[in-house]
Structure 1
Amino acid sequence: MLRVGIVDDHQIVRAGFKEMLGDAVQLRIVFEAGSGEEALSALREQECDVMLLDLSLPGQSGMDVLRIVRQRFPDVSVLVLSGFPEERYALSMIRNGAGGYICKDCERDELIKAIQTVAAKRRYVSAKTAELLAEEMLGGGVSSPHESLSEREMQVFLRLAKGESVSDIADTLNLSVKTISTYRTRLLEKLELASNAELAAYAVRNGLLME
């Protein structure tokens, strides 16, 4: 019996997936959470094999939660269940430790297969993600500049793009203001941009802002 946690800030979405998985005899929903903080609290109290994780969460983002789960709960496999299409975040999330990435409009059988795959400590790669990986390996795809960002750079980038100050980001990520400023400088160089406003515009153009 696989123990599954569902993390999404919309109660109706959690209820939908809970109902979708309710009659799967090999799965048991052990908790649901509406924020990253709630999810991490639940993991401290409840054993879990697979966590279904939305990227767009209040407070700590899904990317923040993934990083913490990898560090503190290494036995928990994370399956990113997102409203964003694969080309936006799939490769980045898998590179940074997610067991797989699947869109919320997936079919029930695909979701169950993905949960079973990541629970077995294997990567679940959808057909679209496999296509993106193949294009990357063969050099056939045109990579966007943000795809080369590290996990931490992506965290800082998205927060800057949403208008958060350097000091607020430093507090949230438990880093120094100097370190965040260094990340900001590096981001502007890598993305060939000149200001926070241009970072925000880039994020909007590429559909990267998480509401």
Structure 2
Amino acid sequence: MLQIAIVDDHEIVRTGFREILSEELDMQIAFEAASGEDALERLRETPCDVVLLDIALPGQSGVDVLRTIRQHYDALGVLVLSGFPEERYAIAMLRNGADGYLCKDCDHEELVRAIRTVASGRRYVSARTAELLAAEVTGDGAGLPHEQLSERELQVFLRLAKGESVSDIAESLALSVKTVSTYRSRVLEKLDVASNAELAAYAIHHGLIVA
């Protein structure tokens, strides 16, 4: 029996996933969580095989949760299910340790297929993500600057874009203020912007956060 965790801050989304998976005889909901902090707390107590992880969570983002999972539960499958299309986050999340990426409007069959693929220890790549990866490999796709950010840089970028201060980010991520400032400088350089306001504008323009 595959044990599945659903991590999403919208109850209606969790309910939808729960109803879909209830039709599968070999799948069971291990737990549900509405925040990153709650998800990590539940993982310490409840083993599971696959985590369905939203990116836009209150508090610790899906990027934060993914990083912690990869540090402490390396064999755990993580399937990112996001409201953002593949162009926005798929390659970045796969590069930073996700086992698959799907949009929340995917159909029932694709969701179940993706879960089974990830649970078997393989990566699930949707048709659209496969196109993006192929374009990147062949050089046909220019790629967006944020897709080149490291896992930690992406964490810091999204928090800065949401208006968090360097000191608040340092406390949340258990880093020194100097280290976060260094990451901030790298992000500014890689995205070719000069301020936090421009970081936020970039994130909104590319649909990485909601204005």
Measured against the shorter chain, the TM-score band is over 0.9
Q: Given that residues 6 and 53 in structure 2 are in contact (C-alpha distance below 8 angstroms), is that contact kept between their aligned partners in structure 1?
A: yes
Q: Give the root-mean-square deviation of aligned CA atoms.
A: 1.0
How far apart, CA to CA, are the structure 1 residues paired with 2:126 and 2:208?
20
Q: How many residues align?
A: 211
Q: Given that residues 94 and 101 in structure 1 are in contact (C-alpha distance below 8 angstroms), is that contact kept between their aligned partners in structure 2?
A: yes
Q: Given that residues 79 and 100 in structure 2 are in contact (C-alpha distance below 8 angstroms), is that contact kept between their aligned partners in structure 1?
A: yes
How far apart, CA to CA, are the structure 1 residues paired with 2:71 and 2:39?
14
**TM-score under structure 1 normalisation?**
0.98
Task: Tell whether 2:50 aligns with 1:50.
Answer: yes
Structure 2: which amino acid aligns with 1:124? Y
Change (3 A) 1:210 1:6: farther
The one-character-per-residue Cα deviations of 1:150-193 (angstroms, maximum 9, x if unpaired) are 11001111111111100000001110000111111111111111
What residue in structure 2 maps to residue 135 of structure 1? 135
* CA-CA distance at 1:210 after TM superposition: 5.5
Q: Given that residues 204 and 210 in structure 2 are in contact (C-alpha distance below 8 angstroms), is that contact kept between their aligned partners in structure 1?
A: no
Q: Given that residues 156 and 180 in structure 2 are in contact (C-alpha distance below 8 angstroms), is that contact kept between their aligned partners in structure 1?
A: yes
What residue in structure 1 maps to residue 71 of structure 2? 71
Q: Given that residues 56 and 210 in structure 1 are in contact (C-alpha distance below 8 angstroms), is that contact kept between their aligned partners in structure 2?
A: no
Structure 1: which amino acid aligns with 2:20? M
How far apart, CA to CA, are the structure 2 residues paired with 1:202 and 1:111?
31
Task: Tell whether 2:110 aligns with 1:110.
Answer: yes
Change (3 A) 1:8 1:83: same
Task: Tell whether 2:85 aligns with 1:85.
Answer: yes
Change (3 A) 1:151 1:210: farther
How far apart, CA to CA, are the structure 1 residues paired with 2:81 and 2:191?
27
- Which stretch of structure 1 is more off in the superposition, 71-80 or 166-175? 71-80
Task: Tell whether 2:8 aligns with 1:25.
Answer: no
What residue in structure 2 maps to residue 35 of structure 1? 35
Q: Which runs of 5+ in 2 are unaligned?
A: none
Task: Tell whether 2:142 aligns with 1:121.
Answer: no
SS at the partner of 1:142?
Answer: coil
How far apart, CA to CA, are the structure 2 residues paired with 1:89 and 1:175?
25
Alignment of 1:90-101 (within 5 A): 90-101=90-101
* CA-CA distance at 1:199 after TM superposition: 0.8
The runs of 4+ residues in structure 1 deviating greater than 2 Å are: none
Structure 1: which amino acid aligns with 2:18? K
What residue in structure 2 maps to residue 152 of structure 1? 152
How far apart, CA to CA, are the structure 2 residues paired with 1:52 and 1:42?
14
Structure 2: which amino acid aligns with 1:114? A
SS at the partner of 1:32?
Answer: strand
What residue in structure 2 maps to residue 197 of structure 1? 197
* CA-CA distance at 1:75 after TM superposition: 2.4
* CA-CA distance at 1:134 after TM superposition: 0.4
Q: Given that residues 55 and 210 in structure 1 are in contact (C-alpha distance below 8 angstroms), is that contact kept between their aligned partners in structure 2?
A: no
Structure 2: which amino acid aligns with 1:147? E
SS at the partner of 2:29?
Answer: strand
* CA-CA distance at 1:42 after TM superposition: 1.2
How far apart, CA to CA, are the structure 2 residues paired with 1:52 and 1:23?
17
